[in-house]
Amino acid sequence: MANENDILISSTPDLRQSIGAWYTYLRAEKRMASNTLDAYERDLRQFCVHLTDYLGHPPALSDFADLRPLVFRGYLARRRSNGCGPRTLARDLAGIRSFVRYLEKQGQASAAGLAAMRAPRQPSSLPKPVDVKSALQLTNTREQMHETPWVAARDAALMTLMYGCGLRISETLSITGRDLGISLAGGTNIQATALRITGKGGKTRMVPLLPVVSKAVVNYLSQCPFALEPDEPVFRGVRGGVVQPGVIQRAMRLMRSALGLPATATPHAMRHSFATHLLGNGGDLRSIQELLGHASLSTTQKYTAVDSQALLKTWQSAHPRA
């Protein structure tokens, strides 16, 4: 059987050239995140492995011209036999679909075969936030969570930003001094009242910067031992480099263990908590959608099922016939 690492090397030059042009298009024009780019490239590489075995030779650009549903079904069956679940299968199809549609725009392929495919049925799942009390405890990291006071202040600021602004961990770690409206060389007073966040797909949104969030960030900056430039990320590791997501994930594991919280209490759960608690206190879905940066309202609507009791209380207090 074909080896995944050899496939692009042994494929025809025209296919390699088209893959390179597609990758450049996704990065430069679609402005996709690097993780998504890597996932799409991996999806296509795995599909090329399947095509090599199916065709009996490394795929060429012409082999993508009119792929039939039978080829895609065979690929999904192969992946399923390797233990892949519905979410992974849907993920696999995303990168392949993107490449074939790119070729279709270039007049080099037809996406009809993919259009005839139905995505694997996804198991229903809901966001898993923490309750208000636990969220506040997680933002109040103390020195016992880390022997170095400034690191404890950093972790507290990060948790406060994720919960207070509904940020993803990657968005939080990319915040610069200029984003906060401060000149780090001249002090740590935050001038900004809102943050401009660039999220998935290059989508930009504005989120309010609450005073309690600013206070937590200022507390960290006043203790941080490293010189920071305005255009550099403000959150630093113990050696002065930019903090990696794994560092915060480990910090969260320590905190949830100390607080007796379940394994679902992750950094991303702070973002879920932000949305759920806003909704439970009367926030409207459209506003929450904008704050989270969701492209579709249906993604935000999942939070309505999480806090159904709070919604019932709102209905009872507000509806004329309640």
Q: Could you say which of 75, 163, 220, 303 is catalytic?
A: 303
303 is catalytic: yes
**CA separation for the pair 14, 177 (Å, rounded):** 45
Q: Could you say which of 79, 154, 205, 268 is catalytic?
A: 268
**CA separation for the pair 314, 260 (Å, rounded):** 30
200 is catalytic: yes
Q: Could you say which of 50, 146, 236, 271 is catalytic?
A: 271
203 is catalytic: no
271 is catalytic: yes
Q: Could you say which of 42, 200, 253, 302 is catalytic?
A: 200
319 is catalytic: no
268 is catalytic: yes
Q: Could you say which of 168, 205, 272, 277 is catalytic?
A: 168
Q: Could you say which of 294, 302, 313, 319 is catalytic?
A: 294
Active site residues: 168, 200, 268, 271, 294, 303
